[in-house]
Structure 1
Amino acid sequence: MTYRHLVDPALAPMLENEFPALSAANLKDFRAALVHQFDAGPSPAIRSEVRVRTRDGGPEVRLIIHTPHGGGSNRPAIFFIHGGGMVLGDAAMGEGIRGALALRHQAVVVSVDYRLAPETPFPGAIEDCFAGLKWLFAHAAELGVDPSRVVLMGESAGGGLAASLAQLARDEGGPRACAQILIYPMLDYRTGSKEDPHPNPVTGEFSWTRANNRFGWEALRGDYVPTDARAGHFSAALGRDLSNLPPAFIATGSLDLFFEEIVEYSRRLCRAGVSVELHSYPGAIHGFNFVPTAWMTESFNRDLHGALSRAFGRGESSSEQKNAW
């Protein structure tokens, strides 16, 4: 049975180009194709790169930095983590979008080029992200960044890594972001498998499918058995304690494979005392915002930039402000 009739007509262009079934055999070719597919042109901001060491002794991690023109101090920052199902993409993907984001919010955007699975299974990717985040805070003064206004932000797999990074930073006593911006985040490794705690037949037919989700998570998991205290660093939904995490903005589509896990994670954050702004766009599938003319993309952009503005405008003058946007 198909649920194509539930997809909003504004997203018809997405249905014309189905996302292929990923496998070990086609992964290399699809990685190359994806970089060209999501080429957003050069960054309109000042672009630079650095490489940082990780604590696990892996290769140095590349960070791409987009800085607004004209210098400045006490600027906000966005630590951005790209998507790609844990197996695709790189930090250079969508550079034009990251640069435009930097200019719009007069923020320094730092994009992390984390190692991909299956070549590097857990905890490689999250360790790369943690190293990048610590570098950003350690170099805040020279970047002109106010460390009290640093936001974690990620899309899809990057959203899941951002959620896990918030947990890891808390657990390890690392730097604390003022907010986490999770765009259709990939949170639960069980989704689409026999262990799926919230199976929904309506979600996941288009764009990112159950089969691709299983492939991505198994590639990341490797030999790791997610039953220890690190489980939430692997798959954010497995985190046992979600208290004392940054306020969250979370966006998804009602037909996204991740819809159920996102709603449940949002509930758990709320129960743990974390402020949550949750948006679900009707008739929207995974990656809907890549159709710029769609009405839900316009709504999403308005909601996203509003959340970023509130996060960046949040002061440190009272305890009440520390628990709200």
Structure 2
Amino acid sequence: MADKALSVAGGHVKAREISIPMRDGRQSRALLYQPTKQAETPKPLIVLIHGGGFCYGSADMEAGNCIRAVEAYGCVALSLSYRLAPEAKFPAATDDCWDAFKWITKHAEELEADLSKGFILGGTSAGGNIASVLSHLALDEHVLPPLTGLYLNVPLLLAPEAVPEKWSELYKSRQQNSQSPVLNKAFMDMYTEAYAADVQSHVWSPFNWPGGHQGLPATYFQVCGLDVLRDEALIYEKVLREECGTPTKVNLYPGLPHMFVPNFPTHSSSIKYPEDTTKGLGWLLSFTS
């Protein structure tokens, strides 16, 4: 899929692997995508994190989104990887991506990016969870340059065991969609057990971040109606928009399950979904620090 997306770009995007040092001396693989033609103006950066229930997946899974964004906006895009469960337990994936995030802020020039022109972080499913956590860590630790946009694609944000009473009436999808295709309750339980996640931790449920959400950047959501994770994304968007004044944008796909695009590629919405992603990333790029 990554190779196909690159070929469709018709030579306008170049790709290479890079290695990012981790705190324990390991090197983490990342995929870097840049415009083939050198631009005279500094380029913003988009960083994406793949999904897979913390148990599978690779940086290649976000290649298509990276490539389409580079082609559309002349930005630089980077797709990260991280250690996987069950060998790597909670919160190893978040630790790896946080190490990568901090490295990026210090080496953006090597990536031919200027974070002051736009610094977008995003992720899909488990990657959306990690991206949300990193956005809070970056805010709490006053990381500079600051994020200017956040992309949350069908993200894990709030465990059933940690739902605040205030939001319990709106938190229905874990039960309503418990037997949905692609991702259901049984799979969620399996991933949670394999990763040995602390379901009460704000690192697993960033909706309950101790410092709240004020000051987070503009946030773009993609949410699927038949997804067990639907309502935590919709509730989070509501909190950001109504309580924090954060600019938000939502694309909702009624009647469709989690990660339906690679699982049902011939569905009409599977063509629209990646187009929406590219437009949503463009909307985020309209916000600068």
Query: What's the TM-score once normalised by structure 1's chain length?
Result: 0.75
For structure 1, the 5+ residue unaligned runs are 1-37, 317-325
What displacement does 1:78 show? 1.0
Partner of 2:158: 188
| CA–CA separation in structure 2 for the residues paired with 1:172 and 1:126 | 15
Partner of 2:183: 208
Q: Hey, what does 1:310 align to over in structure 2?
A: 283
Separation in 2, partners of 1:111, 1:132: 10
Indicate how the Cα distance of structure 1 residues 164 and 247 shifts in structure 2: closer, same or farther if over 3 A, else same.
same
Q: Is the 8 A contact 1:40 1:97 kept in 2?
A: no
Aligned with 1:168 (options 137, 157, 160): 137
Change (3 A) 1:315 1:236: closer
One-letter code aligned to 1:100 = R
CA contact (8 A) 1:232 1:238 kept: yes
Secondary structure of the corresponding residue to residue 114 of structure 1: coil
Partners of 1:262 and 1:315 lie apart in 2 by 24
- 1:95-150: CA deviation from partner (whole Å, max 9, x where unpaired): 35533332222221111111112211222111211122222222222322120301
Distance 1:302 1:252, change over 3 A: same
Check 1:53–1:143 CA distance in 2 against 1; reply closer, same or farther (3 A cut).
closer
Structure with the largest fraction of helix:
2
Distance 2:51 2:120 in 1: 17
Distance 2:199 2:232 in 1: 20
Runs of 4+ residues deviating >6 angstroms: none
Does residue 26 of structure 2 align to residue 59 of structure 1? Answer: yes
CA deviation digits over 1:142-174, x for unaligned, max 9? 322120301111111111111111111112222
Contact 1:179 1:247 in 2 (8 A): yes
Give the match's secondary structure for 1:132.
helix
Distance in 1, Cα, partners of 2:205 & 2:194: 13
1:246 deviation in Å? 1.2
Identity level (%)? 28
> Is the CA contact (8 Å cut-off) linking 2:260 and 2:270 kept in structure 1?
yes
Q: Is the 8 A contact 1:116 1:125 kept in 2?
A: yes
Q: Name the residue aligned to 2:258.
A: 286
Deviations 1:230-277 (A, max 9, x none): x33333223231111111111111111111111121122221232221
Counterpart Cα distance in 2 of 1:78 and 1:62: 16
1:22 corresponds in structure 2 to none
Moved more, 270-279 or 72-81: 270-279
Task: Answer whether contact 2:219 2:284 (CA < 8 A) is retained.
Answer: no
The residue identity in structure 1 corresponding to 2:139 is R
Calculate the TM-score normalised by the size of structure 2.
Answer: 0.83
Aligned to 2:112: 144
Q: How far apart are the structure 2 equivalents of 1:293 and 1:146?
A: 38
1:218 to 178, 183, 193: 193
Shift of 1:302: 4.1
- 2-structure distance, mates of 1:98, 1:302: 12
Measured in 1, the distance between the counterparts of 2:125 and 2:259 equals: 8
What SS does structure 2 have at the residue aligned with 1:67? Answer: strand
Query: 1:85 offset after TM fit, Å?
Result: 0.8
Deviation at 1:62, TM superposition (A): 1.7
Equivalent residue of 2:6, what SS?
coil
Structure-1 separation of matches of 2:25 and 2:181 = 36
Deviation at 1:300, TM superposition (A): 3.3
